[in-house]
Amino acid sequence: MNKPLRRISLFCGLLVLALLIRTNWLQYVQAEELSTRKENRRVQIAQYATERGNIIVKGKPITGSVATNNSDFEFKRTYEEGPLWAPVTGYASQAFGATQLESLEDGILTGNDDRLFFDRTVGMFTGEKKQGGNVITTLNPDAQRAAFKQLGKNKGAVAAIDPRTGAILALVSTPSYDPSSFAGNSKDDEKAWVSLKDAEDKNLVNRALRETYPPGSTFKVVTAAAALEHGVVTDINAPTDTPEPYILPGTKTPMVNHATGCEKAPLNEAMRVSCNSVFANLGNKVTRDKMVETAEKFGFNNDKIDIPVRAFASVYDKKMSPDGNALSSIGQFNTAATPLQMAMVTAAIANDGKLMKPYMVDQLTFNLDLIEKHEPQEMSRPLSAANAQKLQEMMVNVVENGTGSPAKINNTTVGGKTGTAQHGEGNKKRPYAWFISYAENPDKSSPVAVAVVIEDSGADRENISGGGLAAPVAKAVMEAVLKGQR
Give the active site residues.
217
Distance CA 54, CA 367 (A): 11
Distance CA 413, CA 250 (A): 42
Q: Which residues contact 288 (CB under 8 A, 6 or more apart)?
A: 318, 320, 322, 325
DSSP string, 21-59: HHHHIIIIISHHHHHT-TT-HHHHHHHTSS----EEETT
Buried b (16+ CB within 10 A) or exposed e, 418-450: bbbbeeeeeeeebbbbbbbbbbbeeeeebbbbb
- DSSP structure class, residue 253: P
* Strand intervals (E) in 3-138: 55-57, 60-61, 63-67, 75-79, 92-93, 97-98, 134-137
Q: Which residues contact 54 (CB under 8 A, 6 or more apart)?
A: 61, 62, 63, 64, 109, 132, 134, 135
Is the CB of residue 29 less than 8 Å from the CB of residue 54?
no
- HSE-up of residue 153 (Cα within 13 Å, Cβ side): 2
CA angle 350, 356, 361 (to 5 degrees): 120
Is the CB of residue 316 less than 8 Å from the CB of residue 284?
no
Closest of 428, 342, 360 to residue 105, by C-alpha: 360
* Strand intervals (E) in 321-440: 355-356, 361-366, 369-373, 378-380, 414-421, 432-439
Distance CA 274, CA 217 (A): 7
Distance CA 335, CA 220 (A): 12
Q: What is the dihedral of CA 37, 42, 44, 47, to 10 degrees?
A: -130
Helix 220-229 crosses helix 339-350 at what angle (to 10 degrees)?
40
Is the CB of residue 240 less than 8 Å from the CB of residue 264?
yes
Pairing between strand 361-366 and 369-373? antiparallel
